[in-house]
Structure 1
Amino acid sequence: MSAAAKVLDPCSASRMMWFDKKDQRALFGDIRDEQHLLCDGRVLKVEPDVLMDFRQLPFDDGVFRMVVFDPPHLTRAGVDSWMRAKYGMLTSDWREDIRKGFNECFRVLEPEGILIFKWNETQVLVSELLALTDEKPLFGHKSGKREKTHWITFMKRR
């Protein structure tokens, strides 16, 4: 881990939300390392700095100031669909996966560290996700044409 990396993105995929996809303050992780040719001819690259599973992060406790947790949100998608390639898929045990993900993200945060949680509730409601952690969000915002994407901010308790 770079000494400059104070932010962890354990599900970075193609880093779509990042202004600087090579920001040295962040460590980009994902369980996938792959490329896909999209239907419009563009290449989608999932190239993490470190291969990692958000359910079992390879870091000591309390080492990041911020974690950006944007896990896969799809429970169903075609095997060769661009949505699956772009966002990844949840497993059939997605509730336990997300519960473990929240636990791991909070574990690696320093006391009073910030967790930004991003979720699209097209297939699974945000309320179902928030029930999977004992941490309470500070505030959030809905975005997108149909306001299905939620940005939720947490601050880790001491």
Structure 2
Amino acid sequence: MSATAKVLDPCSASRMMWFDKRDQRALFGDIRDEEHLLCDGRVLKVEPDVLMDFRQLPFADGIFRLVVFDPPHLTRAGVDSWMRAKYGMLTSDWREDIRQGFAECFRVLEQEGILIFKWNETQVLVSELLALTDERPLFGHKSGKREKTHWITFMKR
């Protein structure tokens, strides 16, 4: 881990939301390290700095100022689909996976650290996810053409 990394993105996938995909302040993690050729010829790369499972983060307690938690949001997708390659898939035990993910993200956050949670509720509602943590969000925002993507901000108690 870089000594300057104060931000953790444990589900970074192809770092789509990042302005600087090599920002030294951030540590990019994912359970996948893979490359996909898309139908239009572009290459989608999932290249984490560290291979990690968001359900069991390999870090000490309270070391990050900010965690960006953008877990896979799909419960169903074709085996070779672009959506699956881009976002990954939830397991059949997704509720427990997300519960553990929230717990781990809050564990590695410093006191009063900030967690940004991003979720697309095309297949699972945000309310179902928020029920999986005891932490309460401060505020949020919906975006996208159908306002299905939610950005929710938490501050660790």
> What range is the shorter-chain TM-score in?
over 0.9
Shift of 1:34: 0.2
Aligned-pair CA distance for 1:125: 0.1
Compute the displacement of 1:110 (Å): 0.1
Give a deviation string over 1:103-152, Cα, whole Å, max 9, x none: 00000000000000000000000000000000000000000000000000
Deviation at 1:47, TM superposition (A): 0.1
Q: Report the CA distance between 1:66 and its aligned residue.
A: 0.2
Q: CA deviation at 1:98?
A: 0.1
1:83-113 per-residue CA deviation (whole Å, 9 max, x = no partner) reads 0000000000000000000000000000000
Extract structure 1 runs of 4+ deviating beyond 2 A. Answer: none
Q: What residue number does 2:154 align with? A: 154
3-state SS, counterpart of residue 138 of structure 2: strand
1:13-52 pair list within 5 angstroms: 13-52=13-52
The number of residue pairs the alignment matches comes to 157
| Gapped regions of structure 2 (runs ≥ 5) | none
**Equivalents in 1 of 2:39, 2:125: separation in Å?**
29
- Please give the root-mean-square deviation of Cα atoms over the aligned residues, in Å: 0.4
Hey, what's the Cα distance between the residues in 2 that align with 1:126 and 1:38? 29
Query: 1:8 Cα deviation (Å)?
Result: 0.0
Deviation of the 1:29 alpha carbon = 0.1
- Separation in structure 1 between the aligned mates of residue 67 and residue 136 of structure 2, nearest angstrom: 15
1:21 Cα deviation (Å)? 0.1
Structure 1: gaps of 5 or more residues = none
Residue identity over aligned pairs, in percent, reads 94
In 2, Cα distance between equivalents of 1:82 and 1:5: 31
Question: Distance in 1 between the 2:41 and 2:150 partners?
Answer: 29
The alpha-carbon deviation at position 41 of structure 1 amounts to: 0.6
Whole-Å separation in 2 of the counterparts to 1:2 and 1:112: 22
